[in-house]
Chain A
Amino acid sequence: MKKSKRTARLSPPRTALLKTSLPKKLASDPAKVRIHQLSTGVRGLDDILGGGIPEFSLNVLAGPPGCGKTTLVHQIAFANATPKKPALYFTVLGEPILKMMRYQQQFSFFDEAKVGKAVRFINLSDVALEKDLAAVLEEIIAHVTAANAGVVVLDSFRTLARKAISDVGEVEVQSFLHRLAQFLTSCEATTFLVGEYVEDEVRDNSLFTMVDGILWLSQVTERNSVVRKLQIMKLRGQATVPGLHTVRITHDGLQVFSRTLGLMGDKPKPAHRRRLSTGIPDLDKMLGGGILEGDSVLVAGPSGTGKSALATQFIAEGLRRGEKGIMAIFEERPQGYAQRADSFGLDLKSAENKGTLELLYMRPLDLSVDETMQAILDAIKRVGAKRLVIDSLVGFEMALAPGFRTDFRESLYRMIGALTGAGITILSTVEVEDNFTSLQFSHYAISFLTDDIIRLRYVEIDGQLRKTMVVIKMRGGNHSKDIREYVITAEGVVVIHPRRTDYAELSTGIPHRTGPRKAQENEAAPEPKASK
């Protein structure tokens, strides 16, 4: 008692000691446990998970057959397995291991050198069939302990659980799961239970309450198109990106495209921006000196008005000035596109060969906007591009799986925001119909997400269908309000006339003459090809 009194008098209280010896913030906020995260080895997935899979967590990887569960878990296993902390892949009444190896080795992540040492496959089907859950658990404990496993996979857990429920009842299965979770956590193993669950089971199956993470894979069918999706239904201890994310399985395994790709890291545009030439001097003047760097420009017009020609000139001008470019083409094949540019004296092929230009041809009919955005972002990074052409938005929409078309406007908003945020100047084309009563910009009401709009249209003048252009909008500054006539020559789009003051209602497409008609015997057609 005496000692304790003395101690109490001489020693400062413990909290006081902490306050004097530690920085202020730490003293009031004791150190939290740091949860390390395992990289999944799946491109795009770590970001969606909020950094990766929490170490020592127990996770369910669920979904119907064919949505990529086995491939995903193999990717995670191969990405994290080492001979000292191997991945143990237990199969229980699921896909035979020989067949699994046969198919999984086709993926680039499957490193044969890891099989047997860093990644070990163990079949527990015999134990599960001939014995009980206790024996299965005993086998798992023996293997995990002997191997000092870092990653444990149980595939298919649902089949095992269903068999056990029919044999011994649900309580026994709960008990098995509880003991398994306890053992694996104390062994410092990160575990994945793979199972072909359906969404209705989430409500009634206490497995989903017990586990730390639920990764749900699915296949969404819309009309003739099927798209794989991933949802992080649950992940304890960290913020994930909510919603359904598109999954693509390629030679490299799964790749996940976050539905919020591009929303993060959006930088504000700098106060002083350069003006970029379009390659058409008169159009540059109409734009007040050119397109502001980092702007999104929409070129709208009906078929044949030279949208692609204008877009090609924009890219070619950038190449001339040392600004690398990307052309995302959705309607034509790159060869035809390059050939047409050739006819304007614009040599895209050489630029491609030099690596200063990349023509991205994307037309698979089941794309998602996120995949397209990722492909464009990758190409921009590869090439170091400053200018981007999307030709056209109508073709882009057609290339999307039907399910994505309904969200096209929102997706486009995200995509353009992400790309201009990265300092890229975008020129998109869109086909609109001339109805001769109104001046449409696009079908999508997307003008809110473009900084500048250039409208091309046909106008009937003196018995000819001629072409005019006008700058409708320019967010970053003043622009010409003139409606200018242009032609498409061997040099591409060429603006030919100053604004017409002798016509009214040019924007309707059917103007009427207000001034006197110039005396002329037979007005020469402005386009060379028309005069032949």
Chain B
Amino acid sequence: MRGIAERLIDYETPKKTSTATATTANFQVTERLRPHLATLMGNGGFRALLARALALASAEVSWLRAVQVNADGTLEGLAAPHARLTPAEFREGRVVLLAQLLGLLVAFIGPGLTSRLVGEIWPQLAADNVDFGKGDKK
């Protein structure tokens, strides 16, 4: 799942980013997933799923413990870690959180439907024949 998460983050990260745009692009993937998943689950449902993914990811990446999920499903508390951490450390948090979120989706609705859902948002992923059935929840 980590490989897919990295690939999605790469899709959403411009090749050349300034520090300012990098902050807004940091969690662009979860932001793009949010309306689609909220249509299925409601904002409350998406918030619950993201909060669970964050809790699981925080066990692996300690700086994520400072991040919170708002009622509308957006993330809060990213600015300080972004300023403090190296780009690699920050990226690791993004990857782990997204991998956990995708892993939860696979656990609930299976690799087939997850792949279809994600493929609707990122058609290039579907074209690459990415297999959500492979790999663990991470």
B110: nearest residue on chain A (CB-CB)? A105
Q: Are B108 and A112 in contact (CB under 8 A)?
A: no
Residues in B neighbouring A113, C-beta threshold 8 A: 116
B109: Cβ under 8 A from any A Cβ: yes
Residues in B neighbouring A96, C-beta threshold 8 A: 41, 45
The smallest C-beta distance from A146 to any residue of chain B, in angstroms, reads: 12
B48: nearest residue on chain A (CB-CB)? A96
A31: Cβ under 8 A from any B Cβ: no
Q: Given A98-B108, A101-B113, are A116 and B120 also a contact pair (CB < 8 Å)?
A: yes
B interface majority secondary structure? helix
Q: Are A97 and B41 in contact (CB under 8 A)?
A: yes
A122: Cβ under 8 A from any B Cβ: yes
Q: List 13 A-B contacts (CB under 8 A).
A: A98-B40, A98-B49, A98-B105, A98-B108, A101-B109, A105-B110, A113-B116, A115-B113, A116-B117, A122-B40, A123-B40, A123-B45, A125-B45
Q: Are A102 and B110 in contact (CB under 8 A)?
A: yes
Interface string of B22-54 (1 = CB under 8 A from A): 000000000000000011111111000100000
Cα A142 to Cα B70 in complex, Å, equals: 27
Residue pairs across A and B with CB atoms within 8 Å: the count is 50
B112: Cβ under 8 A from any A Cβ: yes
The smallest C-beta distance from B64 to any residue of chain A, in angstroms, reads: 23
* B116 in complex: contacting residue of A98, A116, A126, CB < 8 Å: A116
Interface bin, chain A: 10 to 19
Residues in A neighbouring B113, C-beta threshold 8 A: 101, 105, 112, 115
Interface string of A373-399 (1 = CB under 8 A from B): 000000000000000000000000000
Cα A123 to Cα B38 in complex, Å, equals: 7
Residues in B neighbouring A98, C-beta threshold 8 A: 40-41, 45, 49, 105, 108-109
Closest 7 CB pairs of A and B: A123-B42, A125-B42, A112-B112, A126-B42, A97-B40, A101-B109, A98-B108
A121: Cβ under 8 A from any B Cβ: yes
Residues in A neighbouring B44, C-beta threshold 8 A: 125-126
Interface string of A118-133 (1 = CB under 8 A from B): 0001110110000000
A5: Cβ under 8 A from any B Cβ: no
A interface majority secondary structure? helix
A517: Cβ under 8 A from any B Cβ: no
The smallest C-beta distance from B131 to any residue of chain A, in angstroms, reads: 14
Cα A112 to Cα B112 in complex, Å, equals: 7
Residues in A neighbouring B112, C-beta threshold 8 A: 105, 112
Cα A125 to Cα B47 in complex, Å, equals: 14
A110: nearest residue on chain B (CB-CB)? B113
Q: Report the count of interface residues on B (CB-CB < 8 A).
A: 18
The smallest C-beta distance from A123 to any residue of chain B, in angstroms, reads: 4
Q: Are A99 and B116 in contact (CB under 8 A)?
A: no
Residues in A neighbouring B39, C-beta threshold 8 A: 121-123
B36: nearest residue on chain A (CB-CB)? A116
Interface string of B81-122 (1 = CB under 8 A from A): 000000000000000000000000100111011001100100
Residues in A neighbouring B117, C-beta threshold 8 A: 115-116
Cα A112 to Cα B120 in complex, Å, equals: 13
Cα A125 to Cα B42 in complex, Å, equals: 6
A residues 92-116 touching B (CB-CB < 8 Å): 96-99, 101-102, 105, 112-113, 115-116
Q: Are B108 and A102 in contact (CB under 8 A)?
A: yes
Q: Are A126 and B43 in contact (CB under 8 A)?
A: yes
Q: Are A112 and B41 in contact (CB under 8 A)?
A: no
Cα A236 to Cα B92 in complex, Å, equals: 61
Residues in B neighbouring A121, C-beta threshold 8 A: 39-40
The smallest C-beta distance from B120 to any residue of chain A, in angstroms, reads: 5
The smallest C-beta distance from A393 to any residue of chain B, in angstroms, reads: 46
Q: Are A112 and B40 in contact (CB under 8 A)?
A: no
Beyond A99-B108, A115-B116, 11 additional contacts (C-beta under 8 Å) are A96-B45, A97-B45, A98-B45, A102-B110, A105-B109, A113-B116, A115-B113, A116-B117, A121-B40, A123-B40, A126-B43
Cα A101 to Cα B45 in complex, Å, equals: 14
The smallest C-beta distance from A503 to any residue of chain B, in angstroms, reads: 74
Residues in A neighbouring B109, C-beta threshold 8 A: 98, 101-102, 105
Cα A150 to Cα B47 in complex, Å, equals: 31
Interface string of A209-244 (1 = CB under 8 A from B): 000000000000000000000000000000000000
The smallest C-beta distance from A427 to any residue of chain B, in angstroms, reads: 49
Cα A121 to Cα B120 in complex, Å, equals: 14
A143: nearest residue on chain B (CB-CB)? B39
Cα A112 to Cα B109 in complex, Å, equals: 11
